[in-house]
Amino acid sequence: MDFAAKSELVEQVRTFTGWVGTGRKLTQTGRITLVDARTLVSLLGTGDVIDPVIGDRVYRTRSSEDLLDLALVVECAKVARLVRKTGQRLVPVKKNRALLDDPEALWLALFAGLDQLGQAFLPSGFGESLLRPEFADGSSAVLTSLYQADGAVGIATLRTTVWNVVSAPYVLDDVTELQREALRITTDRDTKETLEVLRRLGAVTLQDESAELTELGRSGMRKLSGAPEAGDPIYQVKITLLNIEGLPVWRRVLVPAAIRLDRLHAVVQAAMGWENYHLHYFLDGQTHYGEADPELQYRDERQVRLDELVKPGGRLLYTYDFGDGWDHEILVEEATAATADGHYPRCVAGQAACPPEDVGGTGGYARLIQILGDPRHEEHQDVLHWLGLEDPSRFDPAGFDLDEANQSLTAMA
């Protein structure tokens, strides 16, 4: 990722952090002072215009918050944890200073924190778009569309994708056609601004009316999705559903050794055939890992990697649906290396069907199989109706489709 050192935003963040030095005074509202903003606009070359002149009138800049390009650089430094606000001062975070000498790591920190930047560089108040409050989902939609494409994607297509994503949470039936059009125009504008930020970061190239991920951007997306580079460590794991009577239910999957546990949770769900309706946790014998919820008091699974907990030959317990209590053993069978043409995660083998959701645990599943196998059972038709089937042969407890499992893993990734 040599290109990271050439990223415009990376260089601006490094320069800004150097300017902060041992600390800088902020306004009472926690903003860069206008005096300092004038210095920074010139120092960083952000292109912000202070006290713009429109016609014969001078519009006084009242806050550095209105200087959106400068605000973006400041927020980037905060997202990368190079600086933090304490009281009315902006101070350096000394333990993260090493990032300044590692352009690749700094670039990845900024790229990973993109979803937190929308509030900084997109206009608020009058003329605010729907993308600004839904920026995490909207920016993710942009990057996913670009990542899935073999080449360039039309900006008009990206605008439509973003609009569909960010407008989905809102009921717009009662707005006028003029209001809807205004929202669409501002959202299209901010989609283009988001692409421009990605260009400044070095993740996207813009040509005429299309955008395309750079090599650096694709590498960043692979890292964020947990996809390894060629040569990176790969774990072969066997996921076995415990306490099942009859034919064992298991999947053998290749995953990045450094996969985060929240991503591993998604892999288990996709490979096994669960539908992610319920809570879950991992257990390494001492500590529970799960979603960051104060009531559950689990260690945040997003902050833990598989290879930090388990080496080849080691095991984790994964429990899904605390009511039905589906316990899985995750056994790390061996470590290999990713190949240039390999796709990860990838299921390479498996056996037997996943039980239906909410069937009542292992006991309920055994009873369901018994009832399906007995057409004369008084509950036979009720069970068929519950499964949404007309023919009991359509559910085969021994059935497993490798292609279907990998399709689910691809969709998950």
pLDDT digits (tens, 9 = 90+) for 172-195: 888 899 999 999 999 999 999 999
Residue 391 lies in a domain: no
| Per-residue pLDDT at 309 | 96
Regarding whether 271 and 307 lie in a shared domain, the answer is yes
Domain ends where: 70, 86, 112?
A: 112
pLDDT tens-place string over residues 233-271: 999 999 999 999 889 999 999 999 999 999 999 999 999
Rounded distance, CA 167 to CA 159, Å?
A: 12
Residues 94-120 have a mean pLDDT of: 93
| Per-residue pLDDT at 2 | 60
| Per-residue pLDDT at 4 | 65
Asked if pLDDT for residue 1 goes beyond 60, the answer is no
Instruction: Mention every residue, 6+ apart, whose C-beta is less than 8 A from residue 343.
Output: 410
Mark 322-336 as b/e (b = at least 16 C-beta within 10 Å): eebebbbebbbeeee
Regarding whether 203 and 147 lie in a shared domain, the answer is yes
Residue 141 lies in a domain: yes
Residue with tokens 């050192």: 5
Domain ends where: 172, 200, 224?
A: 224
Which CATH number fits the domain that encloses residue 159? 1.10.10.10
CA 352 to the chain's CA centroid: 31
Residue 377 lies in a domain: no
Residue 373 lies in a domain: no
Rounded distance, CA 337 to CA 344, Å?
A: 11
41 is written with which tokens?
């606009």
Q: In this prediction, what percent of the chain has a pLDDT beyond 70?
A: 98
Regarding whether 243 and 200 lie in a shared domain, the answer is no
Whether the full predicted model's pTM is greater than 0.75, yes or no, is no
Domain tally for the chain?
3
Residue 383 lies in a domain: no
Regarding whether 166 and 85 lie in a shared domain, the answer is no
Residue pair 75/120 in contact (Cβ under 8 Å)? The answer is yes
Which CATH number fits the domain that encloses residue 342? 3.10.290.30
pLDDT tens-place string over residues 62-71: 899 889 999 9
Domain that holds residue 133: 122-224
Regarding whether 200 and 145 lie in a shared domain, the answer is yes
Rounded distance, CA 9 to CA 27, Å?
A: 24
